[in-house]
Chain A
Amino acid sequence: MGKVLMKGNEAMALAAIKGGCDAFYGYPITPQNELPEYLSKHMPLQGKVFVQAESEVAAINMVYGAAGAGARVLTSSSSPGIALKQEGISYMAGSELPGVIINVMRGGPGLGGIQPSQADYNQITRGGGNGDYHVLSFAPESLQETVNIVKESFSLADYYRNPVMIAVDGLIGQMMEPVELDQEINEKVSPEKTWAANGESAKRGKINKIVSLSLDPYELEKHNLKLQKKYHEMIANEQRYESILTADAEIIIVAYGTMARIARTAIKSLREEGIKAGMIRPISIWPFPSRAFKNLPTTVKTLLAVEMSLGQMRQDVVLSINGQLPVEFYGRAGGVVPEASEIIDKVKSIIGGHKNEN
């Protein structure tokens, strides 16, 4: 297909079609509207399903039904809309249903705002619904990375039989960048969906049921332990991150998505001033790439978590470094996007602080 200049939301929509999406069920909410708008035109052209539901609650339940019938399914929303979908997502995890959920994050809490934010981190990574479950979640920073992950997410969801979430923010959703839609991605192969309740019981010779209920606590515990195996497999195989200039770094910034893009500029400028800054950029936010924090070079004195939220991701950095290094924090909220200069000043204040100490 070659490179095309596309808006993030539309690029994600086209990537979903390329990823083999059979059905989309969504609901309008800024700043992700171009995604369903694009699909409302192109899905029917492909003989695929597009439904604008009466609410996000209805939309995620339509996703549940279609996924339970064996289809590859997508929904997209933003922050408060994702909050409405959490019960449905918990049901999907409990019933072991694949599905892709795109969250174009906006400022919160409550109705919040419509500017870009990362304040859904806890809602995404701590499982926003009831029960011990996790959603395999990614936070890409560029349209190319986003498009590739969206395409890959359908096979990941099928493989793990679990919801997969792609968390971007309004900035990534709204900006335009050149993207190559047909880049090779590694497709995780999974067996045929013989478990699906797809109305083939006559041919199949047995009945399939999609259920998350179990009134027997021992049965439900056994089921939970089975789910945990999947999550351990995700922790083992799906930790994704990028390390930038960490080999000789004295301070390492930890930032994802749009925040990481801005931190790159800050690091370049700091390096020009002789301050050895580096970055660890989580690409998966669940499982959090704690592996990236193992055996860091001895040159590193401090970690600095930088977010468009108020310390949600920092907690995972603290957990990963496990007390071996101090974890400083810089964040803006409400949809305010920090300037690179703010990060530069923060780093200097931390480094400066150390210089006076010794």
Chain B
Amino acid sequence: MKTKRVYEPTKGLTERALSYCPGCTHGIIHKLVAEVLEEQGLLGETIGVASVGCSVMNYEFFNCDMQQAPHGRAPAVATGIKRVKPDKTVFTYQGDGDLASIGMAEVVHSAHRSENITVIFVNNAIYGMTGGQMAPTTLIGQKTSTSPEGRNQLTTGLPIRVSEMLATIPGATYLERVSVHDPKHVRLAKKAIQKAFDVQTKKQGFSMIEFISTCPVNWGMTPTDSLAWAVDSMIPYYPLGVYKDATKPGDDDA
């Protein structure tokens, strides 16, 4: 019986086994970014910037030149790279603690300058690597190791909607929030990544894809229940969709 291969591990990832917890959707997101880089023939001239968090070791996983940035500073490192290597593809891969807490100024100003980089932003509403602390994107009432009684808006404010916030910045060319909780959304997420890297390749400016992601271990749920919680609790507060597309004619308010 002859066979035809319809799905195989992407060459955009190295042979290294991923270090993530079982069912963590970082793995899916890594695959999608790597598949897009491979399919668009960009791997050989890409420089990725790893941040600090669960995904800090992804310089071992992405099959392209990588730099590991200090916590929160990946967009600045990427700016530094892109300015001296304008023809290379440059992306950052950051979690919500890295991007929306310590690194907020860096991502806002990279968008403000419309740096020609692509930011992969993974929002799982918690600090994973350090053991489950509250993040800027932790939901109200969500229990974490530093909001043991559930996040309280009075003392910690409301969770930050990063895509909506950056959409107010003229320099942000393409912003979309996606999810990977089922095959259909995985496919849509991949399209979003393709669009983001296309924006970069065409030198149209700053692009960011925000992923609703899971953290089974620190949420204290099974991987499959985590996907359900992401859909039932996170997506209502973080609606999916395109929040900026300055590439469409007439939509360019820059």
Report if A and B associate in a common complex: yes
Q: Chain A interface (Cβ within 8 Å of chain B)?
A: 22-23, 25, 49, 51, 53-55, 57-59, 61-71, 73, 87-88, 91, 95, 197-203, 207-213
For the complex of A and B, list the 10 residue pairs with the smallest distance between their C-beta atoms, beginning with the closest.
A202-B44, A65-B80, A62-B80, A199-B88, A65-B77, A61-B76, A61-B73, A197-B65, A54-B109, A66-B80
Chain A min CB distance to B150 (Å): 33
Q: Which of the residues B44, B63, B76 comes within 8 Å of A65, measured between beta carbons?
A: B76
Q: Which residue of B lies closest to A50 (CB)?
A: B83
**Contact between B84 and A210, CB atoms less than 8 A apart:** no
Query: Which residues of A sit under 8 angstroms from B101, Cβ to Cβ?
Result: none
Query: Which residues of A sit under 8 angstroms from B83, Cβ to Cβ?
Result: 23, 49, 51, 62, 66
Q: Which of the residues B43, B77, B78 comes within 8 Å of A201, measured between beta carbons?
A: B43
Query: Which residues of B sit under 8 angstroms from A22, Cβ to Cβ?
Result: 84
**Contact between B43 and A213, CB atoms less than 8 A apart:** no
Chain B min CB distance to A149 (Å): 24
**Contact between B67 and A210, CB atoms less than 8 A apart:** yes
CA distance A203 to B44 in the complex (A): 8
CA distance A71 to B84 in the complex (A): 7
**Given known contacts A22-B84, A65-B76, A199 and B46 CB-to-CB distance under 8 angstroms:** yes
CA distance A53 to B108 in the complex (A): 12
CB 8 Å contact bits of B42-77 with A (1 = contact, 0 = none): 011111010000001101000111111110010011
Q: Which of the residues A53, A59, A199, A208 comes within 8 Å of B45, measured between beta carbons?
A: A199
Q: Which of the residues B43, B63, B68, B105 comes within 8 Å of A58, measured between beta carbons?
A: B105
Q: Which of B76-98 contact A (CB under 8 A)?
A: 76-81, 83-85, 88-90
B38: CB under 8 A from chain A?
no
**Contact between A65 and B78, CB atoms less than 8 A apart:** yes
**Contact between A87 and B70, CB atoms less than 8 A apart:** yes
Q: Which of B7-25 contact A (CB under 8 A)?
A: 14
Besides A61-B77, A207-B63, 18 other A-B contacts (C-beta < 8 A): A25-B80, A54-B105, A57-B76, A58-B76, A61-B69, A65-B80, A66-B80, A68-B81, A73-B80, A88-B73, A199-B46, A199-B89, A200-B45, A207-B14, A207-B65, A208-B66, A209-B67, A210-B66
B164: CB under 8 A from chain A?
no
**Contact between A197 and B84, CB atoms less than 8 A apart:** no
**Contact between B85 and A69, CB atoms less than 8 A apart:** yes
Chain A min CB distance to B90 (Å): 8
Query: Which residues of A sit under 8 angstroms from B109, Cβ to Cβ?
Result: 53-54, 58
CA distance A67 to B108 in the complex (A): 23
**Contact between A23 and B84, CB atoms less than 8 A apart:** yes
CA distance A56 to B81 in the complex (A): 17
**Contact between A210 and B68, CB atoms less than 8 A apart:** yes
Q: Which residue of A lies closest to B112 (CB)?
A: A54
**Given known contacts A53-B109, A58-B105, A66 and B84 CB-to-CB distance under 8 angstroms:** yes
Chain B min CB distance to A256 (Å): 31
Chain B min CB distance to A63 (Å): 6
**Given known contacts A88-B70, A209-B66, A211-B59, A62 and B89 CB-to-CB distance under 8 angstroms:** no
**Contact between B84 and A69, CB atoms less than 8 A apart:** yes
CA distance A66 to B77 in the complex (A): 7
Query: Which residues of B sit under 8 angstroms from A23, Cβ to Cβ?
Result: 80, 83-84
Chain A min CB distance to B181 (Å): 30
Query: Which residues of B sit under 8 angstroms from A209, Cβ to Cβ?
Result: 59, 65-68
Interface hub of A51, A207, A208, A212 (most chain B Cβ within 10 A): A207
**Contact between B65 and A65, CB atoms less than 8 A apart:** no
**Contact between A207 and B66, CB atoms less than 8 A apart:** yes
Q: Which of B101-127 contact A (CB under 8 A)?
A: 105-106, 108-109, 113
CA distance A66 to B90 in the complex (A): 12
Query: Which residues of B sit under 8 angstroms from A203, Cβ to Cβ?
Result: 44
**Given known contacts A200-B45, A202-B43, A212 and B68 CB-to-CB distance under 8 angstroms:** yes
Query: Which residues of B sit under 8 angstroms from A25, Cβ to Cβ?
Result: 80
Chain A min CB distance to B77 (Å): 4
CA distance A53 to B113 in the complex (A): 10
Query: Which residues of A sit under 8 angstroms from B64, Cβ to Cβ?
Result: 199, 201, 207
